[in-house]
Amino acid sequence: MKQLANCLSLVLFGSAAIAAGCSTSAATPTDASTGGGGSVGKLQALTPDMNGFVDSATTGTTGIKGAWYAYGDGIGSDGTAMNSDCQLKGGHPMSACSSITTPPFGMFPNTAGKMCTSGTVAQVINMGTAADYTNIWGAGIGIDLNNAGTADGGTGKQPYNATMNNVIGVQFNIDTVPLATLRVEFPNKTNINAPFWGGDQMSSPVVANKPNVILWKDVKGPFYDLAATPFDPTTILSIQFHVPTTATASAPYNFCISNLSAILAN
């Protein structure tokens, strides 16, 4: 079994390390659905194994490989709260930080084809005279797109070139959209702050219990970065489902992602 050593998220969004195995066969691509808007390409399923690892042997010509992971401002890459953005960088007490209830650190089980998470994003408090969104930014789950993560060294988190691999976007389902909203983000090596689907707005236009289709042209921003350069699909590190914080109140979240697929150009 291939063992995952580290699946660390992009700077700004720390994550957990995950152990995982690999499967061996690729699914046949199907037509992409736009909820009535017609076909935009072919879908290639990115099916995780029982431990949340997506093997390139199962993702057809996309070459996508990586593991699912949970991340949050209240947990560091070593699994401790003391090394989290919220406590180590922000100097805030644990009670002021976002928390992850599931999955447990170092694990991400595939639950009947769904990758599920729950927890609470904190209410942003001040650092000095300003709300500290830098260190109290929320929590979520994600998947690396080019990270073999093998115990014998592997490659670690590397950029994924979607353009070269004929991938024009992604599609997924979610069972419940968090009340605190959701941003489907694409951290990459080119953009300093992670762009997201509908990034010129406060949140992504995610809907529950039907396919959500994201084409690269709809990944923008983020809105708070006025100097943001256009999204670069040639250097994507991961896909992240991020529940952001607000200065209004803390908020629980509990959702599952399923049927994540790459969209291939026709």
Tell me what pLDDT residue 13 has. 33
Long-range contacts of 194-201 (CB under 8 A, 24+ apart): 194/10, 194/12, 194/13, 194/222, 194/240, 194/242, 195/219, 195/220, 195/221, 195/222, 195/228, 195/231, 196/220, 196/221, 196/222, 196/242, 199/223, 199/228, 199/231
Q: Tell whether 25 is covered by a domain.
A: no
Mean pLDDT of the region 72-78: 95
pLDDT at residue 38 in the model: 53
Q: Is residue 16 part of a domain?
A: no
Name the residue among 223, 190, 189 with its Cα closest to residue 204.
223
- Let me know if residue 238 belongs to a domain: yes
pLDDT tens for each residue of 27-67: 556 666 554 445 688 999 999 999 999 999 999 999 999 99
What's the pLDDT tens digit per position in 215-251?
Answer: 999 999 999 999 999 999 999 999 999 999 999 999 9
Give the CB-side neighbour count of residue 22, counting CA atoms within 13 A: 20
Kindly indicate the confidence band of residue 2, based on its pLDDT and cuts at 50, 70 and 90. Answer: very low
In a domain, 19, yes or no: no
pLDDT value at position 149? 77
Q: Tell whether 118 is covered by a domain.
A: yes
The amino acid sitting at 37 is: G
Structurally, the chain folds into a number of domains equal to: 1
- The residue segments making up the domain with residue 184 are 30-264
Residue 27: predicted pLDDT: 52
Residue 88's pLDDT is 97
What beta strand segments (E) does 161-250 contain?
167-174, 183-185, 196-197, 212-215, 219-220, 238-244
- pTM score, two decimals? 0.86
Q: Looking at the domain assignment, is residue 260 inside a domain?
A: yes
The answer as to whether 9 is a domain residue is: no
243: helix, coil or strand?
Answer: strand
- Three-state DSSP class for residue 116: strand
